Amino acid sequence: MLLLDLEDSWGVQVSVCTAVACRVPLRTLLADVLPIFAQADGLTKSNWENLQRSHDIVAKLKLPNFIDFVGRLDERSQKYLMAKVRGTLEILRHTGVSKSQKYFTVAWPHGRDVQRGIRIVCEKESYWTRMLADTSDCATFAYMSSQCLESGHCRCSGSLPIWQNAAKLLITAVSLHQRVKTTLSSKSGTTSSSPWALCHEERYIIGTNDIFLKVEVHKPSTSTYALLRPTVLRIPSKYGKRIIEKVTEKASSVARLRERQKPEDDAENVLVTCHI
């Protein structure tokens, strides 16, 4: 795990209050869960308290220049912090979509129990969670958060939240898969300087080689977020790679999307939901 990886949007924050999920940088995930993991570790608890008292480490994790901050720490503090980061992510690597793609596991650490979590069935209104399966260029570290995440479609009731074991919506950003984008540019023989954008009522595919989600785009003129509505597209894994190659080689009208990989990627903000 490199420090640069902490800028990648591999974290998935799930709101206990609204059941809305949101892609966040790994450093944001760490800002939320490291205090719990550190307090649960009685042997090095004082090290964390010193780091928080001297450097306000949680606030620093929320800033995009966190890498520069780590470089200014003394060697002992650096070693402790990075060991705690690696240990935390090692536990959270078991979250995300299961290999069977039946369950979406979300960490819910509390008190001294940092192994606690829940499993959401990837069906019905939570079917979209299958798109969070790990790929060669994107991973998922999912955790429950007390933060009240809202959208125009899912609002906080204001009352004591009751978890319904479902994930209703994902706030993320998507871009055209690079291989498809390159092929489209080379076939047209032109290079466009205008930013890429999703097309209203167009259909795309997003997901892994095992099971794709086919999504339809809705872009209300009054909204800053495009809405992606997925439908099941079951393709046996032995054919998945072949389908992707067809999309790439023949510039199919059904192009492949992927979630944003880096902060600087040309991507469009979207809401993904089966709930509506």
Residues 274 and 196: beta-carbon distance below 8 Å: no
Mode of pairing for the β-strands spanning 211-218 and 268-273: unpaired
Residues 253 and 205: beta-carbon distance below 8 Å: no
Distance CA 24, CA 157 (A): 24
Q: Which two tokens mark 196?
A: 């890429």
Which pLDDT belongs to residue 250?
46
Average pLDDT over residues 155-179: 80
Checking if the pLDDT of 189 tops 80, the result is no
Pairwise pLDDT comparison (211 vs 261), residue with the higher score? 261
Residues near 215 by beta carbon (within 8 Å), at least 6 away in sequence: 203, 204, 205, 206, 228, 229, 230, 231, 257, 272
Distance CA 263, CA 276 (A): 29
Checking if the pLDDT of 41 tops 50, the result is yes
Q: How confident is the model at residue 42 (pLDDT cuts 50, 70, 90)?
A: confident
Percent of the chain clearing pLDDT 90 (strictly above): 47
Which pLDDT belongs to residue 252?
47
Distance CA 174, CA 266 (A): 8
Q: How confident is the model at residue 220 (pLDDT cuts 50, 70, 90)?
A: confident
Residues 19 and 154: beta-carbon distance below 8 Å: yes
Percent of the chain clearing pLDDT 70 (strictly above): 78
Residue 124, SS3 per DSSP? helix
A 10 A CB-CB count for 135 gives: 14
Checking if the pLDDT of 67 tops 50, the result is yes
Checking if the pLDDT of 183 tops 70, the result is no
Checking if the pLDDT of 163 tops 50, the result is yes
Which pLDDT belongs to residue 59?
94
Average pLDDT over residues 95-112: 93
Pairwise pLDDT comparison (183 vs 102), residue with the higher score? 102
Instruction: Tell me the one-letter amino acid at 160.
Output: L
Distance CA 105, CA 102 (A): 10
What is the average pLDDT score of the chain? 83
Checking if the pLDDT of 127 tops 70, the result is yes
Q: Which two tokens mark 120?
A: 């959401």
Which pLDDT belongs to residue 152?
64
Distance CA 149, CA 189 (A): 43
Q: How confident is the model at residue 215 (pLDDT cuts 50, 70, 90)?
A: very high
H/E element, 27? helix 26-40
Mode of pairing for the β-strands spanning 203-207 and 211-218: antiparallel
A 10 A CB-CB count for 89 gives: 20
Count H helices and E strands in the chain, helices first.
7, 12
Residue 101 is classified by DSSP as: S
Mean pLDDT lowest for which of 75-84, 184-193, 197-206?
Answer: 184-193
Mean pLDDT lowest for which of 148-162, 166-180, 212-226?
Answer: 148-162
